[in-house]
A = this chain, B = another copy of it.
Amino acid sequence: MTPRTGDTAAPRPRRGPGRPRQDEADSGPGTMERIRLAARSEFAARGYDKTSLRGIAKTAGVDASLIHHYFGSKDELFADTIELSLEPALLVPQILGAGPDGIGERLVRSFLGIWENPVGRAPLLAVIRSALTHEAAARVLRDLVLRRLLERVADELNVPDPTFRAELAASHLVGIAVLRYVVQVEPLASADPDHIIELVAPTLQRYLTEG
């Protein structure tokens, strides 16, 4: 139904930051990056439901048909956007892979580090908001992103039900993000990150390492 259908789709090359060359203004990797950045900004500002491909096209300065051409449906573009935003979180398996000593602290510290940076926060907020309000967005997060991320984490754990344990740890972190950064309930919203880390690290340590 869409131009992007599995193995028959054209490869989607990435290029580093920089201004698009003139001959890329309406096609090629420069256009794709502009669409990606516009999508991230639109999804972050409006959430899944209120974001339209037309609005993204306008922000990116391209024709909407190009978005269909490169990314397929709105769902597919959203999945691409989440992956782009969650790249720092993909470091989690490396954090865990450094060994069991102190992984609870490394995990909560890196998680808060991503959220304390406003540039990283906006797209993550958009992901949480969208997944909570739109089943298609929840499906993308659940089936595409979380499953892959949590299974990579689980691979590093030596406990019973490793995926379940990883999800319990993730649930605590997600809940902290919701109350601290979204609802902004005090005193949690203004608490020193080290104070949170001190109390939460032993919890994650237990979930991820103790049988």
Contacts and interface: CB of A to CB of B under 8 A. Distances in A.
Q: How many copies of this protein are present in the complex? A: 2
Interface string A150-165: 1000000000010111
A194 to B, nearest CB: 13
A147 interface: yes
A44 interface: no
B47 A183 contact: no
B187 A164 contact: yes
Contact of A184 (B142, B165, B173, B182): B142
A185 B180 CA distance: 22
A91 interface: no
Contact of A183 (B138, B183, B188): B138
A122 interface: no
Given A133-B129, A172-B172, A174-B179, A185 B200 contact: no
Contacts of A2: none
Interface string A166-205: 0110111111101110111101100100011001101100
Contacts of A173: 175
A188 B168 contact: yes
A167 to B, nearest CB: 4
Contacts of A202: 206
26 contacts: A129-B132, A132-B132, A132-B183, A138-B182, A138-B183, A142-B184, A146-B185, A147-B185, A150-B185, A161-B187, A164-B191, A167-B185, A168-B199, A168-B200, A170-B179, A171-B172, A171-B175, A171-B178, A171-B188, A172-B172, A173-B175, A174-B178, A174-B179, A175-B175, A175-B176, A199-B207
